[in-house]
Structure 1
Amino acid sequence: MNRQPIATALGGLRQTVLGPDAPPTRRLLARWPRLDRYAAPVGLLAALGLFWITFAVESDWGLPAPIAVLFAAMTVAPLLALPRRPLLAWRLTVLALLVCTFNAPTDSPGPWTPPLALGSIVVVAVVLARVDRPVLAWVVAITAVPVLTLVHPENRAAVLALLGALAIVGDLVRRNRLSRRELAAQTERNEREQERRAVLEERTRIARELHDVVAHHMSLIAVQAETAPYRLTAVPATTAEEFAAIAASARGALTDMRRLLGVLRSEATGPQTAPQPDLADLPDMVAAAGRAGMPVSLDVTSEMDEPVPAPVGLAAYRIVQEGLANAARHAPGAAVRVAVHPGRSSLVVRVENEPTAGPAVGVTTEAGTGHGLTGMRERATSLGGTFSAAPLPGGGYRVVAELPYDGEGPGR
Structure 2
Amino acid sequence: MDRTVVRAALAALRRTVAGPDYPGVRLPLDRLRHRPRTAAALRTLGLLALLGLALVTAQFLLDSRGLPIATAWVLAILTVAPLPILLTRPLLAWRIMLVGELFGTFNRRQADDAVVVGAGVGEFWPWSPTQILVIVVVLAAVAARVDRAVLAWIGLLSLIPVWIFVSPSNQVGVSLLFVVLLILGDLVRGNLLARRALAEQAELSELEKSRRAVLEERTRIARELHDVVAHHMSMIAVQAETAPYRLAAVPDPARAEFAAIADSARAALTDMRRLLGVLRSESEDPRTAPQPGLADLPALVAAARRAGMAVTLDTDVAAEPSAPVELAAYRIVQEGLANAARHAGGAAVRVTVRDRAGGLAVRVQNTAGGTPAGPDAHGGGQGLVGMRERAVSLGGSFTACPTTDGGYAIDVLLPDDAPRPDEPPRVDHREDGTP
Structure 2 residue aligned with 1:283: 298
Question: Would the aligned equivalents of 1:225 and 1:244 in 2 still touch at CA under 8 Å?
Answer: yes
Structure 2 residue aligned with 1:373: 384
Q: Which amino acid aligns with 2:105?
A: T
- Give 1:166 deviation, angstroms: 0.6
Structure 2 residue aligned with 1:242: 257
Q: Output the TM-score relative to the length of structure 1.
A: 0.86
Where do 5+ consecutive residues of structure 1 fail to align? 408-412
- Give 1:273 deviation, angstroms: 3.3
- Give 1:306 deviation, angstroms: 2.5
CA distance in 2, matches of 1:221, 1:231: 15
Which of the numbers 400, 406, 411 marks the counterpart of 1:401?
A: 411
Against the structure 1 CA distance between its residues 295 and 274, is the aligned structure 2 distance closer, same or farther, given a 3 Å change threshold? same
Secondary structure of 1:78's counterpart equals: coil
Secondary structure of 1:20's counterpart equals: coil
CA distance in 2, matches of 1:358, 1:179: 70
Question: Would the aligned equivalents of 2:301 and 2:313 in 1 still touch at CA under 8 Å?
Answer: no
Question: Would the aligned equivalents of 2:230 and 2:269 in 1 still touch at CA under 8 Å?
Answer: yes
Give runs of aligned pairs for residues 202-351 of structure 1, distance below 5 A. 202-292=217-307, 294-302=308-316, 305-332=318-345, 334-345=346-357, 346-351=360-365
Structure 2 residue aligned with 1:28: 28
Against the structure 1 CA distance between its residues 19 and 210, is the aligned structure 2 distance closer, same or farther, given a 3 Å change threshold? same
CA distance in 1, matches of 2:4, 2:138: 30
Question: Would the aligned equivalents of 1:351 and 1:399 in 2 still touch at CA under 8 Å?
Answer: yes
CA distance in 1, matches of 2:158, 2:371: 97
Secondary structure of 1:108's counterpart equals: coil
Where do 5+ consecutive residues of structure 2 fail to align? 111-121, 418-435
Tell whether 2:125 aligns with 1:114: no
Tell whether 2:45 aligns with 1:58: no
Against the structure 1 CA distance between its residues 279 and 239, is the aligned structure 2 distance closer, same or farther, given a 3 Å change threshold? same
Against the structure 1 CA distance between its residues 376 and 158, is the aligned structure 2 distance closer, same or farther, given a 3 Å change threshold? same
Structure 1 residue aligned with 2:145: 130
Against the structure 1 CA distance between its residues 296 and 130, is the aligned structure 2 distance closer, same or farther, given a 3 Å change threshold? same
- Give 1:253 deviation, angstroms: 0.9
- Give 1:20 deviation, angstroms: 1.7
What are the superposed Cα offsets for residues 274-314 of structure 1, whole Å, 9 maximum, x if unpaired? 3222232222111112223x132213053x54245544443
CA distance in 2, matches of 1:56, 1:236: 113
Structure 1 residue aligned with 2:426: none
Against the structure 1 CA distance between its residues 330 and 94, is the aligned structure 2 distance closer, same or farther, given a 3 Å change threshold? closer
Say which structure, 1 or 2, has more relative contact order (CA 8 Å, 6+ apart).
2
Structure 2 residue aligned with 1:355: 369
What are the superposed Cα offsets for residues 64-106 of structure 1, whole Å, 9 maximum, x if unpaired? 3343233223223333442322212212222222222242222
Structure 2 residue aligned with 1:198: 213
Tell whether 2:99 aligns with 1:95: yes
Question: Would the aligned equivalents of 1:327 and 1:353 in 2 still touch at CA under 8 Å?
Answer: no
Q: Output the TM-score relative to the length of structure 2.
A: 0.82
CA distance in 1, matches of 2:309, 2:89: 78
Secondary structure of 1:22's counterpart equals: coil
Secondary structure of 2:82's counterpart equals: helix
Secondary structure of 1:355's counterpart equals: coil
Against the structure 1 CA distance between its residues 38 and 265, is the aligned structure 2 distance closer, same or farther, given a 3 Å change threshold? farther
Once superposed, what is the RMSD of the aligned Cα atoms?
Answer: 2.8
- Give 1:210 deviation, angstroms: 0.9
CA distance in 2, matches of 1:127, 1:286: 73
What are the superposed Cα offsets for residues 321-369 of structure 1, whole Å, 9 maximum, x if unpaired? 223223333454x14312314153351412315433458xxx9766532
Secondary structure of 2:23's counterpart equals: coil
Secondary structure of 2:284's counterpart equals: coil
Secondary structure of 1:275's counterpart equals: coil
Question: Would the aligned equivalents of 2:325 and 2:416 in 1 still touch at CA under 8 Å?
Answer: no
Question: Would the aligned equivalents of 1:320 and 1:338 in 2 still touch at CA under 8 Å?
Answer: no
CA distance in 1, matches of 2:327, 2:159: 73
Against the structure 1 CA distance between its residues 401 and 270, is the aligned structure 2 distance closer, same or farther, given a 3 Å change threshold? farther
Question: Would the aligned equivalents of 1:312 and 1:403 in 2 still touch at CA under 8 Å?
Answer: no
Secondary structure of 2:409's counterpart equals: strand
CA distance in 2, matches of 1:344, 1:102: 78
Q: Which amino acid aligns with 2:261?
A: I
Against the structure 1 CA distance between its residues 358 and 88, is the aligned structure 2 distance closer, same or farther, given a 3 Å change threshold? closer
CA distance in 2, matches of 1:179, 1:385: 49
